[in-house]
Amino acid sequence: MSKHEMKMYQSTEDYLEAILMIKQEKGHCRSVDIAKRLDFKKSSVSIAVTKLTNEGYVIKEEDGMLELTQEGQRLANNILERHNFFYTWLRSLGVEEGQAYDDACRMEHAMCDDTFHKIVSYVREKNDGNS
């Protein structure tokens, strides 16, 4: 995968994660909510939402509400799981809250599923052994 393709995929993941988090917090999500969350221009979010809709990850309702498709939900859950794992792990290592959040955002995109699951297994085994 090229750097450009990775950046595009990371952007897709960031949007899907934002939609999921906003829906969990507010019960609904619109493009304006994503723009505020990610600090992006509304026009950029509109373009991205159209792309996500065309790729089958998002459904835009007539009232402007955004819904994740089954595949969009699966990907969003996956990336949020990664983010939460890395954030919690970094905080347990003593990394400052803001830095842990920023680093978790980068780490959540940086590896394949197999590597992620091996890291999770390793950390859990180490933690279980220290209990």
Q: What span, in angstroms and rounded, lies between the C-alpha atoms of 24 and 127?
A: 29
pLDDT at 1: 52
Q: pTM for this one?
A: 0.84
Per-residue pLDDT at 112 = 86
**Looking at the chain, how many residues does it have?**
131
Q: Averaged over 1-21, what is the pLDDT? A: 75
With contact defined as beta carbons under 8 Å apart, do 125 and 107 qualify? no
Q: What is the three-class DSSP state of 83?
A: helix
92-106 pLDDT, tens per residue? 999 999 999 999 999
Instruction: Give the pLDDT band of residue 131 (cuts 50, 70, 90).
Output: low
Class of CATH domain 3-73: mainly alpha
Q: Average pLDDT, whole number, for the chain?
A: 90
Cβ-proximal residues to 75 (8 Å cutoff; 6+ apart), any chain: 12, 13, 16, 57
Q: Does the pLDDT value for residue 4 go beyond 50?
A: no
Domain ranges (residues) in the chain: 3-73, 82-129
